[in-house]
Amino acid sequence: MKLFDKTVAAEVASKLLEIKAIRLQPEKPFTWASGWKSPIYCDNRLSLSFPKVRDLIKENLIKAIQHHFAGVEAIAGVATAGIPQGALLADALGIPFVYVRSKPKGHGMENMIEGKITPGQKVVVVEDLVSTGGSSLKAVLDLKDAGFEVLGMVAIFTYGFDIATENFKNAGVELVCLSDYAAMLPQALAKDYIDDDETLASLVEWRKDPSIWGK
């Protein structure tokens, strides 16, 4: 797991905070599906409604793909939030696009992957957000099972959990992200989204062990 560029990471984090795609509420935590309490909620789909932010993300994801995954022949978005981002990238690069469902379509062809499947085609997977990496890596496995050659994955933001790093390492999948939690915190502090040292300390502690934070 790596950042594409530190300057880009700070800029993307700043813009995501500005448009409220990233919300920080340590005093009123969010609850994830896993049951974890979280001081942060990240919904990068909001970036699609802001043309300048959308272009910033698109342009840098393209640069990340061109730098790290030369020879890419198709883009695969992970449903649902990776679909629009992936389609934008595929259009800009002039290459095919497919997307991966979380489960097979319940009728018709019952497809897991939507779009033309070309065995051996070199594909880069696009995610909006990586937490533990479980659903992202499942999409990679589905693409490999369908015959694609997965070069790696790009994402807009990651929390940078150790378990995600370990999961991607074990799966042998290279992940390149535009920004992460560590890059976001200084931006939040500088722009007064964090207003005191106690709040900052709480946010740092969550990142260390989210499974017990807030209990």
- Provide the residue type at 144 as one letter: K
- Residue 31 burial (CB count, 10 A): 10
Answer yes or no: is 127 a known binding residue: yes
- Known binding residue 152? Answer is no
Residue 131 marked as a ligand binder: yes
Cα dihedral 50, 26, 166, 33 sign? negative
- Quote the distance between the C-alpha of residue 198 and its chain's center: 28
105 known ligand binder = yes
Please list, in sequence order, all residues whose beta carbon lies within 8 angstroms of the beta carbon of residue 141, skipping any fewer than 6 positions away.
171
Dihedrals phi, psi of 186, to nearest 5 degrees? -60, -35
Q: Establish whether 135 is an annotated binding residue.
A: yes
107 carries a ligand binding annotation = yes
| β-pairing verdict for 22-24 and 40-42 | antiparallel
SS3 call for 191? coil
Please, is 25 exposed, middle or buried when counting C-beta atoms within 10 Å of its C-beta (0-12, 13-18, 19+)? exposed
Extract the annotated binding site for 5-phospho-alpha-D-ribose 1-diphosphate: 101, 105, 107, 127-135
Q: Which residues are annotated as a binding site?
A: 101, 105, 107, 127-135
Binding residues for orotate: 131
